[in-house]
Structure 1
């Protein structure tokens, strides 16, 4: 069985949104709640609206979030910046959030895609189970 790391898991959940690769990495023993030195979890990386992933496919993000939730990811985890995954997901539709080039993720979405992002935000509500 191949050796996997947190970086492999992060790549699978946010650059490729690959359920198959993510499943293989989790089955190899990488903890779904592993954090990087800044306390960021794979779930946080999956929903970040910046250069950590291709956010042109909200359906893929939704499928990955559901998969991670089914595998016991802690949606209430807080990173060293005081943010939860839901906070990062909200940035996907927040017109005030801008990337390093001054673009907002919100500019990318049509109504259907925005509804999917809102579903993701609802799923990540740590008060709701």
Structure 2
């Protein structure tokens, strides 16, 4: 038995990368995982060789930039599984830039990028925030 047996998890951004890794860890621990990405996929990637994971997972479409899509996605999960026990908001991104001062001020406000008058601290804070 896994430590998360019977738990229902949503993981956003499960088309690749960190989201897939998080989904796999939750599945390995026994959770049912509902993943989402902007583009349709048949399943969460990397389920080959894990038929039990395939039975306890689904991959749906949801654009995290559209709150109507988010509401519909969450409602679909609740309608299908009755509840949500775990939520991992992995999807998203930042404006690619090597230094925080290269990011327009409006984008900093929208993203909530930490501010500092010190160039080094501002860059470190930005990259820590972006990860």
Q: TM-score range by the shorter chain?
A: under 0.3
TM-score, normalised via structure 1 length: 0.27
Higher helix share: 1
TM-score, normalised via structure 2 length: 0.26
Higher strand share: 2
